[in-house]
């Protein structure tokens, strides 16, 4: 059985105004993850995602590419304390 955990991602590059948060939400929902995505004032997108380890790895891989219009330059990630969320939302 896969371990459940919560990951914190910070995605840099051209990731705002390119449907990145909506694409992240679609991917997370398809993978059965919960959490949220939001734009940061510095141009990055912040993502908190909770769920199965394998699904989190798949989301991480997707975040490195992003949407068709995005140009991802870096994805910082770290495991954080477990967070319970009802769904995956956009802030």
Query: Which residues are identified as catalytic?
Result: 21, 39
Cβ-Cβ contacts under 8 Å for 29 (sequence gap 6 or more): 87, 88
CA distance 74 to 57: 16
Q: Which residue stretches of 5-70 are H helix?
A: 20-30, 53-63
Nearest residue to 33 (alpha-carbon basis) of 12, 48, 46, 21: 48
């Amino acid at each position: 059985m896969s371990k459940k955990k919560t990951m914190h991602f910070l995605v840099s590059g051209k990731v705002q105004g390119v449907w990145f948060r909506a694409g992240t939400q679609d991917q997370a929902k398809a993978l059965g993850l919960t959490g949220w995505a939001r734009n940061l004032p510095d141009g990055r997108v912040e993502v908190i995602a909770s769920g199965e380890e394998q699904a989190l790895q798949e989301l991480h891989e997707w975040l490195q590419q992003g949407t068709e219009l995005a140009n991802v330059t870096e994805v910082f990630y770290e495991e954080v304390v477990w967070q319970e969320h009802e769904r995956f939302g956009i802030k």
